[in-house]
Amino acid sequence: MKTGNILLTTLLAAVLTGPAVAEDRGDRINERLDQRGERINQHLDNKGERINDRLDRRSDRLEAQGHERAANRLDRRGDVVENRLDRRGDRAENKLDRRGDRIDRRHDRHN
């Protein structure tokens, strides 16, 4: 009789906590993907800023030497690269956010 009660209690506990564990799992996956997207976005933003700063320094040196056209071109090129990497990071972050939301909704729907 004791074994039956233990099995029944264990089975009942598993049935009741199953959906809660799955719901928590969806939230954990969503949070992990959000953090990953933020890290990727931050990495690409920093990379774009470093490249832009390096090209700005080269541009300033060229301008000091009297090469304004080349300096302007390098300055614009640095801005373009920085903007492109910023957009790329934003897209990656948004993609991972949407993916995490889909997974979370799927886990919520099945439980």
Q: Which one-letter amino acid corresponds to residue 84? A: R
- pLDDT for 12 equals 57
**Residues 78-97: tens digit of each pLDDT:** 999 999 999 999 999 999 99
Q: Tens digits of per-residue pLDDT, 67-83?
A: 999 999 999 999 999 99
Confidence band, pLDDT 50/70/90 cuts, at residue 6:
low
Average pLDDT, integer, range 34-46:
94
Q: Where are the domains of the chain?
A: 2-109
Q: What is the dihedral of CA 72, 74, 77, 83, to 10 degrees?
A: -90
pLDDT-derived band at 110, boundaries 50, 70, 90: confident
Phi-psi region of 66 (alpha: psi -120 to 50; beta: other; left: phi over 0): left
